[in-house]
Structure 1
Amino acid sequence: MRDPAPWQRRYERIALLSLLFGLISQYLMIGHSFGINVPLFVALFYGLYFYAVQGRIGGFDQWRGQSKSGWLLCLPIALLSLTYVLFANTLFQSLNIVVLPALAAAQTVLLTRSSAKPWYRAAFYHDVLYVAIFKPITYISVPFELFASRFLPNGFISEASSPAVSRARRIVLGLLLAAPLLLIVILLLASADSIFQSLLNRIPSLFGDVSIGNGIVRLIAAFAIALYAFCYLWTLLFRRTGEQLQTPPARLAKVRFLFDPITAETLLICFNLVYLVFAAIQFSYLFGAASGLLPEGAAYADYARQGFAQLVVVSIINLGLLLGGLHLVKREGQTAETVRKISLSLLVGCTIVMLVSAFSRLQLYEQAYGFTQTRLLVHGFMLFLGLVLLMSLIRIWREHFSLAKAYIGLAVAAYVVMNYINIDAIIAEQNSIRYSSTGKIDLEYLKTLSPDALPALVKLQKEHQNDLPALTPIIDSIRNAAIEHGSWQSWSWPQQRARDIDD
């Protein structure tokens, strides 16, 4: 591994400390009421801040910008953070959620002279708001570029290393890249499928006492805190409002994300191994064999109709992995290319299995709880996603196939089809069929349907006139709303059909 420049070593340490800050912060805050965790959080932030702003210009010059006013703010900030330990007044605790960050932002801007305005002028607070909220957003890509400049080819992989050592480093990098997203995916899959979750529970202390949902929330919170902390510090290091102090190192802007093929293949193999286990469970579910694998006390009917939303989310994540595997992997030799294509094809296959499972689960859910517009739109989206994956599969093996053209054409066609399938009529028809077989129907939801649903509702009324007297006012309400504005300029086929039914 090459010896990085001093500025890069420093920025990497700031990034790592920001990540550590995010992880500790979520541990202190998530799931706990305010107390001693507040002053601890404030102390951690200032420890990170004072480390970052040493030699604030490029990491070499002496730290400048000390201001008596800035240092004086240490007292109210410390005292206000301690109020969460000393008192329990809910009004001031709520107010201090806003006041403490505002004072901290003003102090950090003062101490680093990130605003040229005096603190007693309104313009200074405009600069504080800009530096604290808006400017960090523009630097969101910086930590990823910093990481890429060090760990992608010509960085983490040293030309002087032996082939075995180089390959091992690439594999380790792939494992490190896979770990965070794979953890989220595993949590989603466990939330979607109780058999998969029971399989995970057999691995001792894999997640400890952290629940699936809580684990995802904690990971997202840690990442968000770390990303914001780093971007805010980067703003203070390199940007003075109204004038450019120093541009971040130019090489960061030139890095193109092209992953080493061994690293990418390691990442894809990790995901595919998990997906193959999950796909095997889904096949058992689709053929009805899963009922014998369920944990004690779990009902097969409940198992089968849950988790479709999580499976759709995982499918979208997989689409992102697929596109990354197509466009962000360095091409290196025929063998590596073949492995990449097979890995991506396997990813597509497993994702399609997930979509089929999600589609089946949603159908069972609709049979149990009724048909709605949202549920039918999700059906349509899953079909669209499946076609997108098939187009992507073609692209994996045919380099000159244009995904952009295929995606855009497919999206336009899918949108037109969804407009023409008459979704409200389908909802009314399917809910009528469900009522005939189960005796259950959501009349309140039927009130929200458009006149497109009238033919099916009128047919249901005729078939079950004695059983559904409440359906008559619903039909009348929809019909009256359709024909209320009877001018020729407002003519439409549903309106005309409503009049014909009335006649």
Structure 2
Amino acid sequence: MGDLAPWQKRYEKMVVLALLFGLLSQYLFVGAPAGISVMVFVASFYGLFFYSVQGRLGGFEKWQGQASSGWLLFIPIFLLALTYTLYANILFRFLNFFALFALIVAQTAVMTSSSTKPWYRGVFYIELLFLALLKPFAFIGVPFTLLTDRLRNKEKGSGTGRGKVGKILLGLLISAPILIVVVSLLASADEIFMSWLSGIPNLFGDFSFGNGFWRIVVGAFIGCYAFCYIWGLLFRNPKEQASVSAPVPQASALYARGRIEFDPLTAGTFLIAINLVYVLFVVIQFSYLFGAANGLLPEGAAYAEYARRGFAELVMVALINVGLLMCGLHLIRRTTAVAELVRKLSLTVLIGCTIVMLVSAYSRLSLYEEAYGFTQTRLLVHGFMLYLGVLLAIAMLRIWKERFSMGKAYIGVSVIAFVLMNYMNVDARIAEKNIGRFERTGNIDVGYLGMLSTDAAPQLLKLREKHPEIKGLHEVVELLQEHARNHDKWQSWNLSKQRAK
């Protein structure tokens, strides 16, 4: 057999780079909490990605992915990756893992034109799930084939050996995650087996067999997945492409896509009945908001307790109304101008009542926090209600402006809102709010403050300097500083922990 084709040599280098990327990834994350390592990881991935997609040699189609929306996604990706360096909030560190994964998949799919659907359509995100979670595993044998092609014998009979090697490596790769799960379960079920596993590292001195095996598995998985994912972006299965782009029959405009449409009269009656109840409820909410509801309470009921209750229920009703709104926008048949006006007015009243409910719920939650303190859940609910209010305002615009793309606006607002919540520094704000409440009421839950991340340390240090007599506060500050000192590897460098030190 002659020399390899230029395109094959290129993708062999891609395999090697993916393997190096996997080895770097396990070094960054195994045994070291995420910090500045996330920025290094993301930068390394994009190095592999741009190397792989720059032109297609050997007769392949040229890359056509210069979409401006794809380049714009670098902003939230960079900002979310940076949060691992700046902050230490546990919840957002967990959520940002999935957010970064989703944004990177969306960006790479847009930039390589791997999806035939526009990014603001729901079907685009179904294709993203396929591209990220299913399609890479269809190419899991490709890296092994490329590597064994390089190492195989040039004689005719070398094909059998190559196939056996590839199958063996593939079996090892697939069995690795299953083995990890099985070993973990057996160790939990049997203490003797657990003791045997614990004794394995002692057989090798300072070398930990378990740690070394885990690093190999993590590095191999990340490297193989990265290669197969990018390969899936570069090459499309013709059968898959045909099924994705197959035209939808247009025999019936009403049922071509299995869509259900409600009669406008039925839907209008439903919306009006709902709105009558909501309008009555909104009148009560206005009385509550301006303090006039005190005289409407039953005998023996306290206005303060009434004001602090019900915010969770109001938020649930608001979410239900969002569902009704979506149905009203898309599932009501358009007929006469009068019916269309009734639909729009009814949906407008529905949104208006929902916004009042959100304002009421927001005020009730604020009073509840003044009485019982500020927590992460309560602060996030505040943010969620503001976010929901913005979505409702966008929906109001969509009701009266048919051509307005609500999907684009919702996606853009959602990304911006999520990034803003990350940079709000939730734990520091919780500490600040609870300290302000302490100054007003003399009440503070030091135990809960001790559960916050090192983001809250600067506020707690100021509180300790001003009020050293608060019981348990010194221990909480020392605990946060000790937590910051425990992670001294450079990969885990974090501004929040550095400030706490």
TM value normalised by structure 2: 0.49
Question: Larger relative contact order (C-alpha < 8 A, sep ≥ 6)?
Answer: 2
